[in-house]
Structure 1
């Protein structure tokens, strides 16, 4: 097979996200101990605490057999052992023998919240470490099982949040994110396909035939027609993204797929809404005027300061204001003063000011000053820490 040419530079850091099924155990049992096929099928959705000692011992013995065989197998033999290894080793080709490549890359294994899922993930991690990969991580997703829709939905919600938190930073660095979706069950693959359009530079598959070549799907630009349409609902989307529950009349122009019901006539932001916000929220906030947020009033000096900021800082300021508005709306002034990220504090009384001037944090360098009247903030200045606090 020809060696795969990826779009990333030769020594870009690779972040490889692999969904993990149970083929490592199933394939071995099918060939070497068919009597275990029924057992593996029957416990596919069970957790360890639901299994008796005899069952766990049988799976443990099978696991040890697979690990021992993998330790002495060559790459071609490893490919036949599981779908995940077939995809990974086909992806790497001759790069597998590069110590620099193996040391540079990070592997994330996404497994179901089941005994067999965790066992196969542990097994795959050990095999990758035997091959010399130095960074193999196994993030947990509680409830990620097809045993019930409610549990699966909760697990997917954690997975979506994890992608936004862990994979977004790779998009702003010399990295190449690859989704290896050869393994795992179809329900998870369906979600990962969609997430891959947002977070992966490419998605890889491979057919089961021995001579099958890797199928590689490059990242497509996600041009959602709805994204520009969301600009007119940016206030509502921003509030939802920062944890606020909104009544149905305030969400009627937001695509239903982005929302999740919360009590009678209420909604919160759903999994796909979070993906869209994580992907497009900052660019929308950077290119729009200050949002008319509850509990906040903008002075002319604040508006002038905001207009002078770089687009990326404008987005950060708008996100901080959303946090402040939601904190006040949810828990009043206490929510504001107890919000760890805002670090809301009071300056000494300034000359010419009839009341104390407060300030809170945007990031390491930017501060916002304000005065407070009950649960309303009158925003005065925004900009570099030293400059704003010197003339608040």
Structure 2
């Protein structure tokens, strides 16, 4: 039985430009390619663009395979990937569009054709915030967020037996170039149509690995805080290509995220690392001892939980339900609160309290309530 496929396809506006009847319409598509919302486009230009968009919906609904391939670069490569005919399958398609009105419109039309042709497939449109080619800094922030999304989601699909395909024929060149450079860290195979030919080029995953552990370990506190989006008060000594600066804010760049995620799993299983933020989180006398005999995977959870607590302290509005931060509800002096270290049938909690300076002291790792 063939594996199900997870197919990522960046979407540009080729469907719109290919359907445009004249240079006036095409020029307006290019002119407003980075318009975030429909309301950002002048009424006169909007009316001209409607002459392209409105007839496209019924046209794409009735398009056969050959016509769809001519209309859309994204559909052309998807159809070629399947050998000319979409099979009855439950493959998953992620259509990555820019953070623009026309980008989302185009992705919606591509999705409509796929689902009309093969209703069993799942198609999700992901409009990546700030992914536009007008401003370089925000574009790079968007790429950094995209890397985080891939690290969060793609391992789950791989664990469920999906083959990860990056289909890089469509989309803006800047996005294509970035996805090509990171494909070897995420995709099992990369495909795209070679230049103007009808041949689909297929590139298997190459044995590429970042030598990340040493760099990250030397700058661990900095990486941990920036990855958690917590301001880092010390000297930032990691390479400039690994960070993004905007006004007073500093975060990991897409390349910094790659380096961090490649090293993090290996490092976090190794040992309990020092607090990422000693002014806000410190270890009590018994805490390190209570974690001394746990398995490597459990140690990874403990280090991750400390990162979540660091984020929670910085921003109480953060969506960190997985911490389950709450009072102990029983006499466990000096501990007044507890958080999840990991949650399964052998769940463990970290018990902690706040000292007079507002610093959280982690007292021990132990069984939670009801155990």
TM-score by length of 1: 0.80
Q: Label 1:86 to 1:339 Cα distance change in 2 as closer, same or farther (>3 A).
A: closer
Deviations 1:100-145 (A, max 9, x none): x1xx222111112233212211111111111124421112223322
CA contact (8 A) 2:338 2:352 kept: yes
Deviation at 1:322, TM superposition (A): 2.6
CA distance in structure 1 between the aligned counterparts of 2:67 and 2:179, rounded to whole angstroms = 28
Q: Label 1:234 to 1:204 Cα distance change in 2 as closer, same or farther (>3 A).
A: same
**Which residue number in structure 1 is paired with residue 255 of structure 2?**
272
Q: Label 1:121 to 1:273 Cα distance change in 2 as closer, same or farther (>3 A).
A: same
The answer to whether structure 1 residue 363 and structure 2 residue 342 are counterparts is yes
Deviation at 1:94, TM superposition (A): 6.0
CA distance in structure 1 between the aligned counterparts of 2:352 and 2:321, rounded to whole angstroms = 18
**Which residue number in structure 1 is paired with residue 65 of structure 2?**
75
CA distance in structure 1 between the aligned counterparts of 2:46 and 2:258, rounded to whole angstroms = 38
CA contact (8 A) 1:347 1:359 kept: no
Q: Label 1:202 to 1:68 Cα distance change in 2 as closer, same or farther (>3 A).
A: same
Q: Label 1:244 to 1:38 Cα distance change in 2 as closer, same or farther (>3 A).
A: closer
Deviation at 1:313, TM superposition (A): 1.7
Q: Label 1:40 to 1:291 Cα distance change in 2 as closer, same or farther (>3 A).
A: same
Q: Label 1:373 to 1:53 Cα distance change in 2 as closer, same or farther (>3 A).
A: closer
Q: Label 1:247 to 1:222 Cα distance change in 2 as closer, same or farther (>3 A).
A: farther
CA distance in structure 2 between the aligned counterparts of 1:345 and 1:325, rounded to whole angstroms = 18
The answer to whether structure 1 residue 234 and structure 2 residue 220 are counterparts is yes
The answer to whether structure 1 residue 164 and structure 2 residue 117 are counterparts is no
Q: Label 1:286 to 1:218 Cα distance change in 2 as closer, same or farther (>3 A).
A: same
The answer to whether structure 1 residue 257 and structure 2 residue 236 are counterparts is no
**Which residue number in structure 2 is paired with residue 346 of structure 1?**
328
CA distance in structure 2 between the aligned counterparts of 1:176 and 1:105, rounded to whole angstroms = 10
**Which residue number in structure 2 is paired with residue 320 of structure 1?**
305
CA contact (8 A) 1:296 1:325 kept: no
Deviation at 1:208, TM superposition (A): 4.5
**Which residue number in structure 2 is paired with residue 198 of structure 1?**
185
Structure 1 residue runs of 5 or longer lacking an equivalent are 1-9
**Which residue number in structure 2 is paired with residue 118 of structure 1?**
104
CA distance in structure 1 between the aligned counterparts of 2:10 and 2:112, rounded to whole angstroms = 16
**Which residue number in structure 1 is paired with residue 4 of structure 2?**
13
Aligned residues: 361
**3-state SS of 1:109 partner:** strand
The answer to whether structure 1 residue 288 and structure 2 residue 271 are counterparts is yes
Deviation at 1:247, TM superposition (A): 4.0
CA contact (8 A) 2:290 2:365 kept: yes
The answer to whether structure 1 residue 85 and structure 2 residue 75 are counterparts is yes
CA distance in structure 2 between the aligned counterparts of 1:303 and 1:67, rounded to whole angstroms = 62
Q: Label 1:39 to 1:317 Cα distance change in 2 as closer, same or farther (>3 A).
A: same
CA distance in structure 2 between the aligned counterparts of 1:206 and 1:286, rounded to whole angstroms = 41
CA distance in structure 2 between the aligned counterparts of 1:118 and 1:368, rounded to whole angstroms = 44
**After the TM superposition, which of the residue ranges 121-130 and 304-313 deviates more from structure 2?**
304-313
CA distance in structure 2 between the aligned counterparts of 1:377 and 1:241, rounded to whole angstroms = 20
Please give the residue correspondences for 1:199-218 in structure 2 after superposition, counting only pairs within 5 Å: 199-210=186-197, 212-218=198-204
**3-state SS of 2:130 partner:** coil
The answer to whether structure 1 residue 180 and structure 2 residue 167 are counterparts is yes
**3-state SS of 2:86 partner:** helix
**Which residue number in structure 2 is paired with residue 3 of structure 1?**
none
**3-state SS of 1:318 partner:** helix
Which of 117, 137, 149 in structure 1 is aligned with 2:136?
Answer: 149
CA distance in structure 1 between the aligned counterparts of 2:42 and 2:31, rounded to whole angstroms = 13
**3-state SS of 1:177 partner:** strand
**3-state SS of 1:139 partner:** strand
**3-state SS of 2:251 partner:** strand
Larger of the two Rg values belongs to structure? 1
CA contact (8 A) 2:298 2:342 kept: no
Q: Label 1:384 to 1:76 Cα distance change in 2 as closer, same or farther (>3 A).
A: farther
Structure 2 residue runs of 5 or longer lacking an equivalent are none
